[in-house]
Structure 1
Amino acid sequence: MRTKKNSAFGSRCQAVTLGYTALACYVLLHGNVWAHEAEVRLAEVQVKGQSLDAVQPVFSVTEIGRDDLREQPRQEVESLWSQVPGMHVHHYQLSGVANGLVLRGFGGGGHGGDVAATLDGIPLNEATSHADGYFDLNVVVPLELDKVNVYRGPVSVLQGNYNRAGLVELRTRRSGSYTDVEVSAGSHGLWDTQAALGRGLEGGDQLNLAAQHSRGDGARPSSGFERSTLSGTWKHQVHEKLDISLSSRWHEARGDSPSYLTEAQWRQDPQGKDARVVGDGANKHFGTLRLDAQYALGGETRLLGFAYATQQDFVRWFTRPRGGSWMQREERYDRRVLGAGLNLSGKTAVAARELNWMLGLEQVRESTDYGYWDGLVNRQRMAAALDDRNTRLNNTALYGQGHWQAADWLQTSAALRWDHFDGSCRLLGTETGGDECHRMQGRSQASPKLGALAQLNARTAVRASWSQGFSLPSDFAKYALRNSDLSANLFRQTELGVQWKPSSQWLIDAAVYRITSSQEIRNTAPGEYENLGATLRKGAEMQLHWLPGPAWHLEWAYGYHRSEVTQNASAALLGRRVVAVPEYTSTLHARWMPRSDITVHGVLRHVGRSPINTSNTEWAASYHWIDLGLQYRLPAHMARNASLNLWLRNALDTRYASTTTLIGGQRLVAPGAPRSLQLGLQFSL
């Protein structure tokens, strides 16, 4: 079931460089260029699967809307994930490098392939990167977002290979007339400016723009960063049945990194830097272009055709323990993606009951030039590449989903996705790594999803679902001839959930899940893998809203995970927990409104301990922190929808490790952010 943040209670509250501000002012002063808002009524530009939004989902989906996004200044999208039951971010504190996500008992999202991510239908997961499925959400301007859906578990039919723990679906604003600006400044040289603009143009066109520039010095030595993003969408109405839209995005970022600390160093100086780390950091350029054509075939039936391209280059330098000393490595990725597809959706009657349906076809062709060097000295290569190669991964997918109102009280859903993969690997230069590099044998996989939702009464709805996901052999295993008989790793989820509204002051959404995996892929020797192993993930998640009085709103997001190995070649690992998955996560957010123009916030975050090695002899400690915030809505005569925000992050200056890991046999720590102050101004023109 889709849980809308704060939607049951209504909204509790309602960046940019000088050049972008000047653009906004130009738009306002030259009003004759724009059609009057009341005269333009545009249909929203859709992306694949969006036609089913009006249907109450039978799966667990957390929806974060625009009001939630604007509740406090946000420099990055992943600050939202603590609001999702059971979702957690392992902050590596490495500038320019994506952090790890935990969801549904999987610990390798974001920095690996456990979680899928799309932006307006464009996949963000990278087929070849630090690990298959890596994605970076810094390419998104938080202020441009209209809605974020987090599908928990392999329930979405819109993605395949990276969809085992869930899908993060981000949608930007594609309609409306608005000019929103957000400026933030804070400790450690933080400065962030964002702007989002939407206008209906003469002739029925629509224009939406967004921009962000963010920089900071960081709390640790050599941790400065700077990034900029521009995005835009233009929609043109060819005639009453046909709309076309063109969207594009450009992002560039650079950052320095102090790497990890040993645990002893961290206890002595929690924001220090190891003297052996010299020249770490990352640089990135990212661009996308997408063309959509939407045609109304008649009635509620629509045909959407789309094509997109992504161009990206990314380089990272990282120092860590290796072979008894600390060594710097360099990784380079030049990535090119071409995708195209068709999406047909509509409504029809089956047995006098409404059926909402969607069919899709999509092909994605991804090519990556990958280079890996080790033993560098301050970014200077000292030896030949371990890997210098090009990989290609092609994915053809067919998918369909139907939601049928079987009875007044019963909603059912059935979906099926079929994926076919093939690809190749070829050397670009001399390398010494030794991994096989050949043509990939074609692989196909079907992923069914079934669910039902019963509205027992006006206050109670229960849901049940079963879904299947998968993962391909990772990294270069799929390009090795000796591994041509490897099967995909399968994941099957069973979920039961309930949403209960005992009164107008309470809303409770809870779910329990069980995910089994089979045909786990394990490394048996250099370049050799086999299907042997299984895991069991089970847990409970809850989101609670409570209004104890007219001036109060309490929200609690909680998740408990138990992930363990049930089959392995090593009997000693049976029953052991999966690494990097906290036992529980909890976020309590209290809002108090002593006056209509003032909101006081308090956020308490708890994260349970998690194992950091497969034998579970090493654990990362549990931790907690508190954020305090104050929001003041400015008088309407000063600015429209304007507010000042003051936030004290980690108010008690708690020392904690945002990530604890083992590398080269050493226990390493990424220090949690210290206490910091942040002031923000939000307004609309």
Structure 2
Amino acid sequence: MSSLLRQTPRSPLLTAAALAALCACLPAAAQEARLAALTVKGQALAASQAAFSTQHLTQEDLAATGAQEVEDLWRQVPGMHVNDYQLSGVANAVVLRGFGGGGHGGDIAATLDGITLNEAMSHADGYFDLNVVVPLEVEEVTVHKGPVSVLQGNFNRAGLVALQTRRSGTYTEAQLQAGSHGTYDLQGALGRQLGADDQMFLAAQSYTTDGARPDADARRHTLSGRWHHRVDSRLDFALSARWHEARGDSPSYLTQAQWQRDPQGKDPRVQGDGSEKTFATLRLDVNYALSDSTQLLAFAYGTRQDFVRWFTRPRSGTWMQREERYDRDVLGMGLQLSGSAALAGAPLEWLLGTERQQEDTDYGYREGTQNRQRMAAAVSDRRTALDTMAAYAQAHWKLAPWLQPSMGVRWDRFTGDCRRLGAETGSDTCERMATTRHASPKLGVTSQIAPQTTLRASWSEGFALASDFAKYALGTAGLDPNVFRQTELGVQWAPHRSLWLDLAVYRTTSSNEIRNVAPGVYENFGSTRRSGAELQAHWTPLSKLELQWSYGRMHSRVTENANAALVGKQVTAVPAYTSTVQASYRPTAGWTLRAIWRHVGRGAVDAANTQWSRAYQVGDMGAQYALPRSLGWGDAQLSLWVRNVTDQRYASSTSVIGGERLVAPGAPRTVTVGLKFAL
């Protein structure tokens, strides 16, 4: 499969344009002949998730904010935040439920149409990059908060982000945006019914920018396609593929003093930083209806990725560039059986599944490169393998409106190996991984106590393997996984048709944290407690005015550590709170005025809590105008957005590296104009 994935088109936009033109010539089938959307992994779990805190975001949410990245949606989720590194082609750190290592680390699981995006051994375990997704192709994004989903294991600590692309409908859509700093974004999406038994869906994006800082240019191109064929009334299948390429330069971070003098400057010691990436996936889904109430889904997928980055930062009293390379091959397959039945006269929805994934990563690490030129031998040059076998089950029983329990469990088994590909100067261990097993239960219940009020409560467990190369050390053979247990209470209240509220409080404790005692020696010792509250409110005081508020407060503390001085300290990179207020006003027909105000609290920068990031607030304002249909462009819309409207100086990420406090400058005021149309 890897050889097939390597054969990718070198001009995605030309290919997309050609395919779009071809499909545009094909007439859409009549409405009554339209195919039903193919079931994807986990889709049958929708009802059971009511017992847990989940948030659904749609294409309409993306369109309302003119988003150029899926990541822009996270500010609409209470307690979710992006520590933006402002490094071209490098995933940012995402905060959720008091965990600060999602995206750039392994605290959050991420899937795209059932394909795992988390990388087993890239940067930190669990790294994922959502730039491989075209925003215009997204149908829905579901954020599962906490380790509540049975669909993911090792990286499902703070939660799961599940993205689903469009898989039904006939449409032709395009969006063009141009903005400050030489930024251009072109997206297209097309859906066609090809006769009675076939559907095709295509999407493409080309994004370029010169960046607000010196040497901050970036380019990325993405093309995706999906073909769905119905064999008969019971059997259908879908074949989907994706190709993504990204290149960019990076000015790295600034010291605190440099940032105060010139918030959009560049350290002269940074030369040649940046990244290059190619990414491709291929997936086959086969769906068979065993009966009117039972479905069998079989799937297989492959991923091929080549990624390299160059990054300069303080080290050993100077600034030094490093090179990191990650070449990945992933092969996954699985079966899923879902259905509905009656138990004690009440509806029962259930799901059983099993999945296996093999991931191989060729990892190269070098220090002291100069302007991307290698000057020394490799610190690491090795290949790792991680083999995951999983089984899961979940059921949701609608016993009565006031009692609807959900029960689930996931079992994981991990094996792996590590071998050196060449000479190394580093000392990280590289041995066969000891077999690790873990079962994670998920329990929840919902209760509608009144027509306008629904309560929920849940208890769920997640886990984490030893990080990085520690899992390939003989010293971790007898250790248990790091276990996370979350307890949550929530309420949804809709006292009036114009007002909707959702409130959740949670507490997550970790135990058996894995620490390095001496070279090659590890132990289970350490714990952390995370607690918080999340509020989401939607109010429509007038027919022309909508208000939304998303607020999250997080309290993450170390409760046990070998260093007694750290007990009681706050977990780094987690803001005390996040708050987003959104307003939408329609003064006249065709016009929509929008405003978004984001407030982020301060957070600890170092483990000892001697340094803190500053709280900040930033606002966006926009106007959208629906063009008359008489122009022949269908549903066309012009938009104007001013980001960071007050030109606020703020740090989108603050860290301490090599003893120096470093700042990733937040983006200055930018202006973007756009045109979107749907034929």
Q: Which residue number corresponds to residue 678 of structure 1?
A: 672
Q: Secondary structure at the match of 2:496?
A: coil
Q: Secondary structure at the match of 1:81?
A: helix
Once the 2 structures are TM-superposed, how far is the Cα of residue 38 of structure 1 from its aligned partner? 1.8
Once the 2 structures are TM-superposed, how far is the Cα of residue 51 of structure 1 from its aligned partner? 1.6
**Distance of 1:45 and 1:229 partners within structure 2:** 23
Alignment pair present for 1:373 and 2:360? no
**Distance of 2:110 and 2:49 partners within structure 1:** 22
CA shift in 2, pair 1:526/1:218, >3 Å = farther
Task: Indicate which of 29, 34, 38 corresponds to 1:36.
Answer: 29
Alignment pair present for 1:415 and 2:408? yes
Q: Secondary structure at the match of 2:208?
A: strand
Of residues 391-400 and 637-646 in structure 1, the stretch that sits farther from structure 2 once superposed is 637-646
Q: Secondary structure at the match of 1:476?
A: helix
CA contact (8 A) 1:72 1:645 kept: no
CA contact (8 A) 2:380 2:425 kept: yes
CA contact (8 A) 1:86 1:541 kept: yes
**Distance of 1:513 and 1:587 partners within structure 2:** 20
**Distance of 2:346 and 2:196 partners within structure 1:** 39
Once the 2 structures are TM-superposed, how far is the Cα of residue 39 of structure 1 from its aligned partner? 4.1
Q: Which residue number corresponds to residue 89 of structure 1?
A: 82
After superposition, where does 1:118-133 map in structure 2 within 5 Å?
118-133=111-126
Q: Deviations over 1:205-227 (max 9, x none)?
A: 11011000000000000000000
Q: Secondary structure at the match of 1:288?
A: strand
Q: Which residue number corresponds to residue 661 of structure 2?
A: 667
Task: Indicate which of 434, 459, 469 corresponds to 2:462.
Answer: 469
**Distance of 1:304 and 1:292 partners within structure 2:** 7
CA shift in 2, pair 1:242/1:19, >3 Å = closer
Of residues 72-81 and 605-614 in structure 1, the stretch that sits farther from structure 2 once superposed is 72-81
Q: Which residue number corresponds to residue 3 of structure 2?
A: none
Q: Which residue number corresponds to residue 350 of structure 1?
A: 343
Q: Deviations over 1:267-303 (max 9, x none)?
A: 0000000000000000000000001110000021000
**Distance of 2:32 and 2:14 partners within structure 1:** 31
CA contact (8 A) 1:37 1:177 kept: no
After superposition, where does 1:190-589 map in structure 2 within 5 Å?
190-589=183-582
CA contact (8 A) 1:98 1:111 kept: yes
Q: Deviations over 1:52-78 (max 9, x none)?
A: 325561100000022112223221110
CA shift in 2, pair 1:26/1:423, >3 Å = closer
**Distance of 2:589 and 2:525 partners within structure 1:** 60
Task: Indicate which of 21, 27, 36 corresponds to 2:23.
Answer: 27
Amino acid at match of 2:539: W
Amino acid at match of 2:94: L
Q: Deviations over 1:593-614 (max 9, x none)?
A: 1013111111110000000111
Once the 2 structures are TM-superposed, how far is the Cα of residue 35 of structure 1 from its aligned partner? 4.2
CA contact (8 A) 1:461 1:500 kept: yes
CA contact (8 A) 2:29 2:196 kept: no
Alignment pair present for 1:644 and 2:660? no
Q: Deviations over 1:656-683 (max 9, x none)?
A: 0000000000000000000000011111
Q: Which residue number corresponds to residue 11 of structure 1?
A: none
Alignment pair present for 1:180 and 2:173? yes
Q: Deviations over 1:575-628 (max 9, x none)?
A: 111111000000000111101311111111000000011111111111110100
CA contact (8 A) 1:17 1:193 kept: no
CA shift in 2, pair 1:80/1:501, >3 Å = same
CA shift in 2, pair 1:170/1:453, >3 Å = same
CA contact (8 A) 1:73 1:182 kept: no
CA contact (8 A) 2:53 2:504 kept: yes
**Distance of 1:419 and 1:56 partners within structure 2:** 21
Q: Deviations over 1:19-75 (max 9, x none)?
A: 7456545433x2xx3342424221211211102325561100000022112223221
CA contact (8 A) 1:353 1:407 kept: yes
Alignment pair present for 1:656 and 2:650? yes
Moved over 4 A (4+): 16-23
**Distance of 2:83 and 2:401 partners within structure 1:** 43
**Distance of 2:30 and 2:371 partners within structure 1:** 56
Amino acid at match of 2:171: Y
Q: Secondary structure at the match of 2:429?
A: coil
Once the 2 structures are TM-superposed, how far is the Cα of residue 389 of structure 1 from its aligned partner? 0.3
Of residues 595-604 and 128-137 in structure 1, the stretch that sits farther from structure 2 once superposed is 595-604
Amino acid at match of 1:670: A
Once the 2 structures are TM-superposed, how far is the Cα of residue 524 of structure 1 from its aligned partner? 2.3
Amino acid at match of 1:680: G
Q: Secondary structure at the match of 2:52?
A: coil
Q: Deviations over 1:207-249 (max 9, x none)?
A: 0110000000000000000000000110111111100110000
**Distance of 1:103 and 1:117 partners within structure 2:** 13
Alignment pair present for 1:618 and 2:614? no
Once the 2 structures are TM-superposed, how far is the Cα of residue 528 of structure 1 from its aligned partner? 3.1
How many residues are treated as equivalent by the alignment? 667
Of residues 554-563 and 73-82 in structure 1, the stretch that sits farther from structure 2 once superposed is 73-82
Unaligned runs of 5+ in 1: 1-15
**Distance of 1:354 and 1:71 partners within structure 2:** 37
Q: Deviations over 1:389-429 (max 9, x none)?
A: 00000000000000001113321100000000000000000
Once the 2 structures are TM-superposed, how far is the Cα of residue 381 of structure 1 from its aligned partner? 1.1
CA contact (8 A) 1:521 1:530 kept: yes
**Distance of 1:35 and 1:658 partners within structure 2:** 46
Q: Secondary structure at the match of 2:574?
A: coil
Alignment pair present for 1:65 and 2:58? yes
Q: Secondary structure at the match of 1:57?
A: helix
Task: Indicate which of 152, 158, 161 corresponds to 1:165.
Answer: 158
Q: Which residue number corresponds to residue 105 of structure 2?
A: 112
Amino acid at match of 1:194: Q
Amino acid at match of 2:670: S
**Distance of 1:110 and 1:522 partners within structure 2:** 22
Amino acid at match of 1:597: G
**Distance of 1:494 and 1:203 partners within structure 2:** 48
Q: Which residue number corresponds to residue 5 of structure 2?
A: none
CA contact (8 A) 1:606 1:623 kept: yes
Amino acid at match of 2:103: G
Q: Secondary structure at the match of 1:156?
A: coil
Amino acid at match of 1:558: Y
**Distance of 1:366 and 1:40 partners within structure 2:** 40
Q: Secondary structure at the match of 1:423?
A: strand
CA contact (8 A) 2:20 2:202 kept: no
**Distance of 1:532 and 1:36 partners within structure 2:** 62
CA contact (8 A) 2:16 2:202 kept: no
